[in-house]
Structure 1
């Protein structure tokens, strides 16, 4: 029974806590909504409407003012009281513990407050635009008037720099005057927003007029003086160069110049109409074309200078490389008596001779065209540069082949020195073996020694052949060097093996008295040693020692290494 009572009390407590927490949560939400309602009521709508009253209460301003005031009155007299009634209703539901319906009512209140807030924000934003437009219109309108006055003053003071465009600019400024009057009328009638839009249009037009007034004098100077003068300079230079023997018909400067003059006439028409952008495009193209003409004429002058300066020298250089190539052919024939050259190597001078022949023909044609004076110097100079480039390539090929021939003799001398060095190396190895007093030499070592001597002999034979084949000599020399290096390594191994096996047999003899069973193996090792089978001797001796003393080989290694240090 007690358990049931305790359980009931716990349930009641949990229910009570839930009710308290839920009621507190809903009350907090009601307070938040009420604060938002109060904040909306205190928005500075009335203050902003008061500012509007100071403006001209006519036209658009009066219409907007009436609408905003009506919307704000609706908020204050209809929307906010409705919110108050809903808040009161929600509080009643909370007192009746109808938390679910109270929560729904609070959500409806929050939604309506959001709608009211949007309405109030819209009123304030439009008010700010209207009041701000009036303030900006007043300041910027004065600035526009000042800019227009300055433009008129400049037009009067520097009328001659604008030419016939001055009258058109006056008309454009007069049009602006009419628009300013309309702007003033709109402002006076209270249509501040419409006046603002018109002022923005006036500003764009004023920017355009000022840009035109900045550019027209500059463009008129270019169109009427600078560019025509440059064209005349180009035409006069063109005529003088033709009289001096230049062939310039391919440039078509007369035709292009006539086209540019027509473009400049169009530019003058555009400037009278104050069409600056169209003029700028044509003037830019004209500048580029004139600069291009200057470059073309200068190129012809430079080409003529270089042709006259280099053409004769180029012919002499071709003669020089032909003579040098003839010497190369003779030298190659001499070298072939002493050295064997493959087909590719020996054919280099003959191949160059054919190319020199074609180059001479190309030069003769060029020389004839220069004498005829019927070809533009720029074309002639391009051909001359091609010939000069090929001459430089041929010189490099000749120099390379000359170096190759010289290298053959150098390689022969170096091969002889290397062969002598290898012979000395073999003698050194032989002397080293004799000084080691070896009991005998294994068959494999004798074969290696004979192989090394045979390689030396073959190399010597190839080196004494006439004509000499240096590629074959190099192959034989490399083979000999490999065989002798191998012999040297095996010689060091053999000497070390003899010393090691001899000392191990001596070490093993200590065990003869204490371990008679070792004697037969040691005897076999000695026989193998005397027959120059040193590897077998080492193996037999090591096996015998290890059989009678597991630590014997370690003792021997320590003793042998110590002896080697002394």
Structure 2
């Protein structure tokens, strides 16, 4: 029983302590909410509204002020009292034990305070804007006044710089000044918002006027002075150049100059209308066209100097290639008597002559045009440049042709010398073979030898024709040289095989009676030597038998032979 009583006392004590803790926490929460609400009162706006009211606002600004004031009254008379009630509710909740309700009421109170804080800051910012606009507008009044006075002074003192645009600029200034007066009126009546809208328009129109005042003097100077001077200079220069026998391709200098004068007049009208963007574009086009006309005049002046300088050079060049062509023609005619010119050398040189004649005719025509005063020098200069390039190409072709024919007699003489050498060389080969006193010659050697003799005879016939074909003769020489080299190798081989075979057969006689293998080989080798004239095979048979039966005997014999041959 005692234990139960003690347990009840402990539980009751714990509940009491929990209740006390809950009350203290609730009081702390209520205090926090109260402190937050107290900060809202630290933003005094009553004085701000009094100052704004003293600005004597009107129009849109007055409407904005009324909205802000009503919003402020809702804040003071409804939002703040509601927050006070919510704080009291939190305090009252602290006396009970419904912690969930207390926490919800505490959250609601904090949310209301946040909304009130946001509202009061918005009101404060909008009021500050009204005050700032008013200050800015009063400052702008003085600045704009000075600016307009400067515009008026510029247009008055420098009106001649603006040409036909002066009336339009003065009208723009008048509109700017009227807008300025409207801005002052709204500012003084206390309508900063309305004044701000007008100020935006005023700044735009003022900036546009300032831009025009900056740009127009330069545009007008080009139209009124620069272009007039340049176009007159072009017209005068054209007439002066025509008097000096200059001519122009298409000859449209004066019509173009007249068209540009009309365009200049039209652009002055656009300037009067203040179409500044179009005026700038037209001025650029006129300037480019004038530059083009100057270029046309200057091109002919430069071209004339070039033509006069190149005339003498071209005349000498034409004379030079004509002389070379005649010299080539003479050489070709002389060579064609004795030689067969099978590369169309004569026709090629004739074509060079035709090309030179065409260039000469063109050159003479240009000279005549210059003499009679109808020459367009730029066109002649272009033609002269092409003539020079064509003559240079013809000259190089003439050189190539000359180089190809000048060596023809030398090639013939070289071929005749080779013919004599070939004949002597073949006679020497025959003499070397005859000195061996061989029973006969192999058929393949005889065929090769006879073929070369025939080739030499054909070369002799070709060289002694009424007209020598040097190309054909040169090819025959090259072919014979190659074939003679082959015959020379065959001759050396034939002589070596025959002599070694004879010596080997003589050496084998020592063993014929005592060695049946060597005796048989000796008979076979002799048969190949005397009857078949196959000296190479004869040597192979006897040398193989000697080496087989008497190793080293044939090698020694061969070494001795070649040692003596050297």
Instruction: Give the structure-1-normalised TM-score.
Output: 0.56
2:407 partner SS:
helix
Q: Deviations over 1:507-566 (max 9, x none)?
A: 9999999995675356424532555424434665698799x89xx99x999999999999
Residues 477/173 of structure 1: CA separation in 2 closer, same or farther (3 Å cut): farther
1:389-468 alignment runs, 5 A limit: 391-416=391-416, 418-419=418-419, 441-468=441-468
Q: Contact 1:246 / 1:377 at 8 angstroms: preserved in 2? A: yes
Q: Deviations over 1:160-203 (max 9, x none)?
A: 46553654764787799799999999x9769x9xx9xx98x999
Distance 1:379 1:433 in 2: 80
Q: 2:279 aligns to what?
A: 279
Q: 2:527 aligns to what?
A: 527
Q: Deviations over 1:281-310 (max 9, x none)?
A: 222322222222122212222343444455
1:231-250 alignment runs, 5 A limit: 231-248=231-248, 250=250
Distance 1:514 1:171 in 2: 152
1:4-153 alignment runs, 5 A limit: none
Q: Deviations over 1:56-101 (max 9, x none)?
A: 9969x99xx99xxxxxxxxxxxxxxxxxxxxxxxxxxxxxxxxxxx
What's the CA shift for 1:470?
0.9
Q: Contact 2:449 / 2:487 at 8 angstroms: preserved in 1? A: yes
Q: Deviations over 1:342-385 (max 9, x none)?
A: 48222345445555555555555444443333454444555555
Distance 1:438 1:154 in 2: 133
Q: Contact 1:370 / 1:380 at 8 angstroms: preserved in 2? A: no
Distance 1:327 1:391 in 2: 16
Larger radius of gyration: 2
Q: Contact 1:366 / 1:384 at 8 angstroms: preserved in 2? A: no
Residues 298/420 of structure 1: CA separation in 2 closer, same or farther (3 Å cut): farther
Distance 1:206 1:562 in 2: 122
Distance 2:285 2:246 in 1: 27
Cα root mean square deviation, aligned: 6.3
Q: 2:268 aligns to what?
A: 268
Q: 2:25 aligns to what?
A: none
1:322-361 alignment runs, 5 A limit: 322=322, 325-342=325-342, 344-354=344-354, 361=361
Q: Contact 2:339 / 2:470 at 8 angstroms: preserved in 1? A: yes
Distance 2:555 2:179 in 1: 117
1:331 partner SS:
helix
Q: Contact 1:341 / 1:469 at 8 angstroms: preserved in 2? A: yes
Residues 427/168 of structure 1: CA separation in 2 closer, same or farther (3 Å cut): farther
Q: Contact 1:408 / 1:470 at 8 angstroms: preserved in 2? A: yes
Q: 2:483 aligns to what?
A: 483
Q: 2:302 aligns to what?
A: 302
Distance 2:308 2:529 in 1: 92
Residues 505/368 of structure 1: CA separation in 2 closer, same or farther (3 Å cut): same
1:293 partner SS:
helix
What's the CA shift for 1:484?
1.7
Q: Contact 1:455 / 1:483 at 8 angstroms: preserved in 2? A: no
Q: Contact 2:546 / 2:554 at 8 angstroms: preserved in 1? A: no
Residues 353/150 of structure 1: CA separation in 2 closer, same or farther (3 Å cut): farther
Q: 1:230 aligns to what?
A: 230
Distance 1:147 1:434 in 2: 133
Q: Contact 1:242 / 1:248 at 8 angstroms: preserved in 2? A: no
Distance 1:202 1:561 in 2: 126
Residues 491/209 of structure 1: CA separation in 2 closer, same or farther (3 Å cut): farther
Residues 176/559 of structure 1: CA separation in 2 closer, same or farther (3 Å cut): farther
Distance 1:481 1:346 in 2: 32
Q: Contact 1:340 / 1:470 at 8 angstroms: preserved in 2? A: yes
Residues 565/481 of structure 1: CA separation in 2 closer, same or farther (3 Å cut): closer
Structure 2 gaps, min length 5: 1-42, 49-60, 73-121
Residues 329/58 of structure 1: CA separation in 2 closer, same or farther (3 Å cut): same
Distance 1:178 1:496 in 2: 134
Structure 1 gaps, min length 5: 1-50, 67-126
Q: Deviations over 1:442-468 (max 9, x none)?
A: 332233233223323432442344432
Q: Name the stretch that deviates more: 489-498 or 176-185.
A: 176-185
Distance 1:359 1:475 in 2: 40
Residues 265/505 of structure 1: CA separation in 2 closer, same or farther (3 Å cut): farther
Q: Deviations over 1:363-417 (max 9, x none)?
A: 5544444333345444455555565555555544544443333132333344345
Residues 528/249 of structure 1: CA separation in 2 closer, same or farther (3 Å cut): closer
Q: Contact 2:518 / 2:542 at 8 angstroms: preserved in 1? A: no
Q: How many correspondences in the alignment?
A: 439
Q: 1:87 aligns to what?
A: none
What's the CA shift for 1:237?
0.8
Q: Contact 2:500 / 2:561 at 8 angstroms: preserved in 1? A: no
Q: Contact 1:508 / 1:522 at 8 angstroms: preserved in 2? A: yes
Residues 489/374 of structure 1: CA separation in 2 closer, same or farther (3 Å cut): same
Q: 1:471 aligns to what?
A: 471
Distance 2:543 2:302 in 1: 94
Q: 1:101 aligns to what?
A: none
Q: Contact 1:501 / 1:538 at 8 angstroms: preserved in 2? A: yes
Q: Contact 1:524 / 1:540 at 8 angstroms: preserved in 2? A: yes
Distance 2:493 2:219 in 1: 98
Distance 1:557 1:211 in 2: 120
Q: Contact 2:270 / 2:278 at 8 angstroms: preserved in 1? A: yes
